[in-house]
Amino acid sequence: MQSKTSKFYMYLFLTLLAGIILIPFYLTFMSSFKTLGDLSSNIVGFPREWIFSNYSKVFAMDYFWTFAWNSLVYGILTTVLTLICASMAAFVFAHIRFFGNRFLFNYLLIGLMFPFASAIIPLFLKVRDFGLLGTYWAVVLPQIAFGLGFAVLLFRGFFKQIPSELFDAAYVDGCNYFNFFLRITVPLSLPIFSTVAVVTFVTSWNNYLLPLIMVSNEELYPWPMGIMFFRGEYDTDWSMVLTYVSITLIPAIVFFLLAQKYIIAGLTGGAVKE
């Protein structure tokens, strides 16, 4: 098909480009194994002496584990509740004909256009007035609400492919909507549940602006706020900051490689369809 030389140039080009794009990753990882002195005199090279004390120092910090735990709680609560609320709503939009179906679906979709930043002041005041400041819910509830539109869109698209004959048959056998949803729709839709779960969890894990507004107590900081806190503490010792960042990168990359299929399906599929 293609000549050998043009293929060679293509690989050369792609490899060089990948190299450039990955330089920041490389430098970050290498720095985490350097002493501060090594870091400032030997910037691009391998560590003169590989040290692991940066890692043991970071792992030994209490708040390192607190931040990770908090992000896990925010992520799991948000994901589970988003899956429940969004799949139920999407089931109604996909399978039940009633007056207002289309209107309510569009109402939820409008949310996709709402910039989150515009809502931060009223959100803060509302959460404060509900007495939720200082709890996990201050972050979780708004996260669910802002994720719903996209999740419902993905679920509905998938549910629509389940043939309605299946419901007719189940209905004759005395199955009601609730049972149909629980026994047939959900088991048949596990791929889309995984996709929505992965995208929701990652979004929650990475979220910064919302917790920045809502969380003032360090005990409740999620991971990204934790990193910024850590950076403030160690601004004079960047080998520590970069170790912290490296520890963040490794699970993120592993998670991406494992869930790649779902992440890309969620990001591109939902966007390209409709």
Query: Within 49-68, which residues bind other proteins (CB under 8 A)?
Result: none
Structural tokens at position 136? 């996990």
Q: Are 159 and 91 in contact (CB under 8 A)?
A: yes
Please say which residue, 188 or 267, places its beta carbon nearer to other proteins. Answer: 267
Shortest Å, Cβ 58 to other proteins: 14
Of 3, 5, 21, 103, which one interacts with other proteins (CB under 8 A)? Answer: 21
| Neighbour count for residue 70 (Cβ, 10 Å) | 23
| Neighbour count for residue 252 (Cβ, 10 Å) | 13
What is the x/- site pattern for other proteins, positions 96-115, by CB under 8 A?
A: x-x-----x--xx-xx-xxx
Which of these, 49, 57, 42, 63, lies nearest to 219 by C-alpha position? 63
User: What's the DSSP call for residue 114?
Assistant: S
**Ranges within 180-199 binding other proteins (CB under 8 A):** 181
Instruction: Please give the C-alpha separations between residue 238 and each of 33, 127, 249, in angstroms, as whole numbers.
Output: 11, 36, 16
Please say which residue, 25 or 59, places its beta carbon nearer to other proteins. Answer: 25
**Ranges within 139-158 binding other proteins (CB under 8 A):** 141-142, 144-146, 148-149, 152
Q: What CA–CA distance (Å, rounded) separates 178 from 45?
A: 62
Please say which residue, 217 or 236, places its beta carbon nearer to other proteins. Answer: 236
Q: Which stretch binds other proteins (CB under 8 A): 56-64, 157-165, 189-197, 241-249?
A: 241-249
**Ranges within 117-136 binding other proteins (CB under 8 A):** 117-126
Q: Which stretch binds other proteins (CB under 8 A): 40-48, 49-57, 62-70, 182-190?
A: 40-48
CA dihedral (66, 71, 74, 79) positive or negative: negative
- Decide if residue 263 touches other proteins (CB under 8 A): yes
